[in-house]
Amino acid sequence: MNYIKNPAKIEEKSFEIIQQIIDDIRPDYTFQNKLEEAIIKRAIHTTADFDYLDSLVFQQDAIAKIIHVLQNKGTIFTDTNMALSGINKRLLDELGCQYHCYVSDPETMEIAKQHGITRSMAGIKLASLKDGPKLFVLGNAPTAVYKIIEMTESGELQADAVVAVPVGFVGAAECKEEILETDIPAIVARGRKGGSNLAAAIINAILITM
């Protein structure tokens, strides 16, 4: 069988096709800048879903804030192991960044049980205790997004930036609209769509392009 077997060529060709399709379906579409272009195209690359041309929102200089965390040995907190698994850890290690997913941590489970909250919410509480710049990358848990908003409003948490792209039918769209009402720097996928794969892809796009 005859098929492309060179990974670099496959990726290059994929982004060419994505641009061709955008030219075709949305000839007037323009990207605001190189970084937004990289993020939106990688979102489409990861999902084959052109809805992300319109649903991704960049609030309060979020990309610059994310780069600040990445360039200052900050910490990434994800809501799922899957999101963490998809992020390019080689590049994070080179930058000296840390990364955690607390969802299965024994301490998280204890906090969740004790307070009658989800493990995702408990994970945010745990993250708030850590020093240094903090970037939250959430593709799954609306309750984590709500917890960040609550703890920011009460002054218990300083989130440098949030990638808020939970997917789903209960609370996902709502929590994303809610964070857009705040001043928290955030990249948001409006509506029901999103996911751990998208969350990872957004971080990877920034890591590769910055």
State the residues that interact with its own copies by CB under 8 A: 1, 3-7, 10, 13-14, 17-18, 45-49, 80-82, 84-86, 116-119, 121, 142-143, 146, 149-150, 167-172, 174-175, 178, 191-197, 200
Nearer to its own copies, 47 or 128 (CB): 47
- Per the residue annotation, which of 45, 68, 100, 115 is the catalytic one? 45
Minimal distance in Å, beta carbon 99 to its own copies?
13
Nearer to its own copies, 7 or 27 (CB): 7
Helix H, strand E, coil C: the string for the chain is CCCCCCHHHHHHHHHHHHHHHHHHHCCCCCCCCHHHHHHHHHHHHHHCCCCHHHHEEEECCHHHHHHHHHHCCCEEEECCHHHHHHCCHHHHHHHCCEEEECCCCHHHHHHHHHHCCCHHHHHHHHHHCCCCCEEEEECCCHHHHHHHHHHHHCCCCCCCEEEECCCCCCCHHHHHHHHHCCCCCEEEECCCCCCHHHHHHHHHHHHHHC
Task: State the angle between helix axes of 142-153 and 119-128 in degrees (0 to 180), rounded to the nearest 10.
Answer: 40
Nearer to its own copies, 12 or 61 (CB): 12
Minimal distance in Å, beta carbon 68 to its own copies?
26
Give Rg (Cα) of the chain. 17
Minimal distance in Å, beta carbon 61 to its own copies?
25
Nearer to its own copies, 23 or 49 (CB): 49
| CA contacts within 13 A on the Cβ side of 87 | 32
Q: Is 115 a catalytic residue?
A: no
Minimal distance in Å, beta carbon 21 to its own copies?
8
Nearer to its own copies, 142 or 185 (CB): 142
Contact predicate 79/120, CB 8 Å: yes
Minimal distance in Å, beta carbon 67 to its own copies?
24
Residues with active-site annotation: 45
